[in-house]
Structure 1
């Protein structure tokens, strides 16, 4: 004779929210301790949060997922460069090396039915293309461009870049979307490049040929603690997949990115005509 097995109690919305918040606190504490060498919680506070998480998962087993902090072994963080598909393909830009080529591109727009469009102009940053995925405002993944469809997961390294927010903030006019892929460029400022090559020379190591190579090499470190020493920056220049936000133009997308706390270029102008671009 067998007894009835009690069904698991479904987690309430309040329990889910507490589990999410405590998980983020634990992950952030681990990150700051192991990668940034800047602990924000003492051992007792950390253990207290971990025990609370375990208690929630004991009561609501559905919360005990493979990515829960309770299922991870504490220790150094490393980057594995796992291949992951972008939610929306990362396209490449066309080149125009003369005004005539730019005018030909503008004429193609007219033939395609785009009449007299406003033109957004900005400086191109020579770095490494990156794709950030935010879900409910939280940075959950960062991928290199790869072949446009599939990139390499470099999330631990990108999280060391000071200008990349781990959590977005919204405004009443521009609330944080449910999901958004943010495209941009990781770069190494010229001054940081000079300091890096000086330190490489002092250490008897080969120097980098240019800032772009240095940025790529710095982002492709297995140990994110190395990346954290490189003073990388990022500038955003596009949006991929999204839910809960639909920009009407590139400039309105930039307005939203800035409002959410993401870095955008301050060298951007919207011009009314091709003649203004030439001027």
Structure 2
């Protein structure tokens, strides 16, 4: 395999740090854009023992270069409405070039952040791209502030629908209180159709804007009632592109429970939590009946997430949205969990580590759930089995330390009825 000629093997931590700093000093002379150096353990056995989390390997870490900065002026502060009603102040900037990209806006996050940095319209500010990606306002330059500037005030009402804005005690986020706010609906639809959710290709911002503004879509289920003729009537939508969108919407009906849960935008329930819930319950009906204490007992689901999920399913508006999606033909189960058959693994908890030869990780997870078991992401005393494949990570070591039963692939296949 071809490797970067600048790669180097270092013998000590001091040597690693010196190398990273030297490369950072050469950053502007590199033949390509770079935002840092990845430092890896150069030993396959140690990599195996260190393993990985659900997000990254433990045997590698990124050293990030200091972000490039530029100065520009704040033209206005606009308040954006998110999918959960969060009101986010956004600085509209005079366009400035930064690391090869033109920056014209940057999130100010929340009211407290704006007050802390005292950002005002007309201020000259220092901006950078966090991780060389996300525009970020670092600070304002007080010596260049206009004499007539005024402190930013968070609006008392939603800038889109006019409903009252409310900031819950102990939280930094102010929210629009109108669940039917069109701005919230647009953001929810964009999230619902995003690649990691229901993966509806061609459902972009301009299309969603028109669908909501024309009253064609009022909730997720309305997407599934769209036809080619209706979509083709939108601006910049020819018959072919309209057909592509309608086909993509129809294809999304079979994405499964985990993606659907993530797509619904339940507060605090990201992709990982959605997968845990789908694997544990297998169907929307079973999950909807779960109590807060029961949810909190699932490994990886904390009290805050459990309460949020329980509250979501306790609201009639959300249950109605789910009923309408079901009526539109959207699958409410994980594929494996939907199959009938004996639940020989009911109540058993599994963790998977390493690569299997006879099936993929997803297939193994599906087989466990189909038989009534559940799959968690980390080993604890409550784990019944750790399935060990090729090149297992640290989860195998955790299992040995805790006395949890290890199953190699042949034993696992026999347990799920797929042995030779």
Bigger Cα Rg: 2
Bigger relative contact order (CA 8 A; separation at least 6): 1
Q: Could you state the TM-score of these two structures normalised by the residue count of structure 1? A: 0.26
Query: TM-score normalized by structure 2?
Result: 0.19
